[in-house]
Structure 1
């Protein structure tokens, strides 16, 4: 017997078995049961259908982890519309590209971010603009709550197939324009099953939303936590004090946090007389983006009393493809080495590290190859980008998604990233394109040439650094200051992409054909580090 795997099953299950149980604690203090959450989603489904939105239409959500995101996502997906979450850290020009590329019909934007969409609304095909606080937003925006109040709960749910696209997640545009990662009902469902298994999610969990919901649908937690009948604790951003207070007051049992967030919590703990870091529940935390250093693991597990897991993946892969949680191999002697690794492949996932000829590298923890992966949680394709899709799946090995990360494999098959093949920087869990930063700085009249590489950062793991050849040709008298160049990037890029480190040089190292050898710059910059990727 075969039952189609569709994402609407997660909320349906929660409503069926946990309808009277608390589902969501809102940022504004309201508390909703699963019956109430589901009713609000139903009303949004009905409101969308009244506006002519149906199966296959795109509904974008720009929201900082409030209950509105959950309601909008499920409300859209229940009518077969494609959930398109947006990174709230972007700038208006980024939204113009994404909304146009995806052909978004409806956008639901939090009042804090609606102005970024309002700035480009005349340039995009979107016709319906909805916000959670219309009085706080300039322009013609409809109220989410008013729409729900006016709509009934009746809507028509179309028949859906598991191989149909149900969400599009946009990458950070690390190799050109952002790419829309198309994920089907099947990929989302099977990934959520993996998340439930490896994060050990059960119905008595209390999940704190410190991880952005826009990140591959919150790493699948909008499905996994809901389907388990567990509780969502919503947030409006990262504030260490609020996180600690919420963990203790709401008895949080599980959260996800990039190493930079863990470091903020460690600083808060040390600066505030070591406050309690748990409520009545034990706390589990999963980190990703860059490997946590030993000091972070020690602080989180030994001082906070939490249990830490480290996962690895990408927008294209769900993200979960490997995890470091090998309990049968972890002891006090091996704990830090194992938990810093990206780890072993999860169920149903073929993770390999291959050389340039597509052959598996030996398990000697020395030989470097590229990570490639095949699994049910891997994306279907890039939206309207067949050539990029073909390249992503067929570079070294046919039929495998190529991660762009260079790694070794130890005797137990556990992967450890050593360097990156892609020209990207991962800072605080966000991917940043070196090429985009270089293009921006090239526009400055006092910059003759520039190369951007990742530089080690205790706070962010790694941060962009620019090696600049000034127009004067003299690094001692460049004719422009570092502060002026930083301001130049801040006016043109999202805040997390701003270049804050500069070094003026007379020339950049190049090959005989004139190609910049960034590898030399990276070796120089990472000389005192174990790996040429950020940790922390």
Structure 2
């Protein structure tokens, strides 16, 4: 079926549900599907008037807001490529994203203006810069005024499956971030997978507290809901008290986050008194949900879907349905409906059930490659087109996938392989532990030994004896941490994954 890509989504949704609320934001402001489509069309005219053509990159720097989605849909409807910029990046990192993507235009929130002054005078800066809101830089018009004045709406570009829709930069856990090129087919496929596996409906109200510049919130949250005709409640940042209030106020049905997100909600004083009865779809990624957090939600009648994926798979690869959470504790589930997953050995051959190997992913949601990096693209794909995740895992007798660890994070101690994720999941269940990362440090006798780096709730005294006593008898002795380091916070990517290379720099031995 010829759909003309993501650019056709809003016009088609406008025909079906023009007055349905698409977005709730700010202090109860609302945008209907008709208004959202109208604004996206006018953004496309704003872009064309500034020389943006098919294949050009349009960058956006800002927190969750209607402008993010208006710019996205305005760009793709003329065949341009949307580049979401992580607001947490340092200026040199933002410079890299803009120059590497070749962004012709940058649209940004006013609050980032002071950070961009040096960048905008650098060589390779975008030719055009537009602020959201009414007023722009040096007396120019802001995006809101430009939308009001836009006329002569350009025609809808007929994108095919291979047309790039977005360049999403990887979290950059090592080295410079690479731009993963996601096509219209990639983002459509991941949205459809979510409709099927998470039963997204047009009645759903999704609270978006994770940043849309991260592909998980975009591909697994915003896009499926808009495709189905549901409602997005956009929140600029995550505050547990505010999130609880929004769930109750707007009868939110869908909420996604990382384990820390859900723990902070449980720890908030209003947790017990907030009406959460509308919530029926909780999705957690980044790492497994500790069983004590699962129990806290189950006491309130809620269960989690969990999953696994990465930027290069748009990002969903697998999902674990709530009814299987208890039966398959620790699993990230089955492959998404239109996605395939396999586990292979070092030579690329299939491994037996229960044997750890590299996880590989195939399907219409697998990216087109890294922007401008043909060698890196070739290295990331097998000869038969499977994406090499670099993650280690195994599949059980029923086809459910379990993650062992990142290949590069595996610790080799005395010739034995140690997968930190296994230990971290057990430590995370200790009362008082709010975050756990296990890394390897050099050891003269064993080559490497594991240490635990933790964040701990006030009032709790977590010692090495506490950790070793909890793990004793549950894992092999060579896997027991040799020391514990307590830190104020763990360095994390936007998706919630711990930046272990930074921890190894803080604790080199």
The answer to whether residue 433 in structure 2 is matched with residue 520 in structure 1 is: no
Local SS of the residue matching 1:97: helix
Distance 1:208 1:49, change over 3 A: same
Alpha-carbon displacement from aligned partner over 1:409-431 (angstroms, at most 9, x marks no partner) = 21111111122113599xxxxxx
Find the partner of 1:310 among 306, 330, 334: 306
Q: Aligned ranges for residues 101-500 of structure 1 at < 5 Å?
A: 101-123=100-122, 124-133=124-133, 142-152=141-151, 154-216=153-215, 218-268=218-268, 271-272=269-270, 274-278=272-276, 281-303=278-300, 305-325=301-321, 327=323, 330=324, 335-336=325-326, 338-364=328-354, 367-394=355-382, 398-423=384-409, 456=424, 458=428, 461-463=435-437
Alpha-carbon displacement from aligned partner over 1:440-494 (angstroms, at most 9, x marks no partner) = xxxxxxxxxxxxx999585664458796xxxxxxxxxxxxxxxxxxxxxxxxxxx
Hey, what does 1:98 align to over in structure 2? 97
Hey, what does 2:484 align to over in structure 1? none
Unaligned runs of 5+ in 2: 412-419, 454-463, 482-495, 499-509
Q: Aligned ranges for residues 524-535 of structure 1 at < 5 Å?
A: none
Hey, what does 2:20 align to over in structure 1? 21
RMSD over aligned CA atoms reads: 3.1
Q: Please report the TM-score for the alignment, with normalisation by the length of structure 1.
A: 0.77
Alpha-carbon displacement from aligned partner over 1:234-288 (angstroms, at most 9, x marks no partner) = 10100001111000110111121111100110101xx336112425x34311000
Distance 1:379 1:273, change over 3 A: closer
Local SS of the residue matching 1:85: strand
Local SS of the residue matching 2:243: helix
1:125 Cα shift? 2.8
1:29 Cα shift? 3.1
Moved more, 78-87 or 154-163: 154-163
Distance 1:59 1:140, change over 3 A: farther
Moved more, 42-51 or 146-155: 146-155
> Aligned partners of 1:71 and 1:412: how far apart in 2?
42
Local SS of the residue matching 1:387: helix
1:360 Cα shift? 2.2
Moved more, 144-153 or 519-528: 519-528
> Aligned partners of 1:30 and 1:374: how far apart in 2?
41
Local SS of the residue matching 1:520: strand
Kindly indicate whether the alpha-carbon contact (under 8 Å) linking 2:220 and 2:316 is maintained by their aligned counterparts in 1. Answer: no
Alpha-carbon displacement from aligned partner over 1:99-125 (angstroms, at most 9, x marks no partner) = 000011111112233333333122233
Kindly indicate whether the alpha-carbon contact (under 8 Å) linking 1:351 and 1:371 is maintained by their aligned counterparts in 2. Answer: yes
Hey, what does 1:449 align to over in structure 2? none
Kindly indicate whether the alpha-carbon contact (under 8 Å) linking 1:19 and 1:34 is maintained by their aligned counterparts in 2. Answer: yes
Hey, what does 2:43 align to over in structure 1? 44
Hey, what does 2:489 align to over in structure 1? none
Distance 1:130 1:465, change over 3 A: farther
Alpha-carbon displacement from aligned partner over 1:20-60 (angstroms, at most 9, x marks no partner) = 11111122432111111111111111111111112111111
Kindly indicate whether the alpha-carbon contact (under 8 Å) linking 1:324 and 1:339 is maintained by their aligned counterparts in 2. Answer: no
Kindly indicate whether the alpha-carbon contact (under 8 Å) linking 1:134 and 1:141 is maintained by their aligned counterparts in 2. Answer: no
- Length, aligned pairs only: 448
Unaligned runs of 5+ in 1: 426-452, 468-507
Local SS of the residue matching 2:299: helix
Q: Please report the TM-score for the alignment, with normalisation by the length of structure 2.
A: 0.81
Kindly indicate whether the alpha-carbon contact (under 8 Å) linking 2:60 and 2:68 is maintained by their aligned counterparts in 1. Answer: yes
Q: Aligned ranges for residues 14-93 of structure 1 at < 5 Å?
A: 14-93=13-92
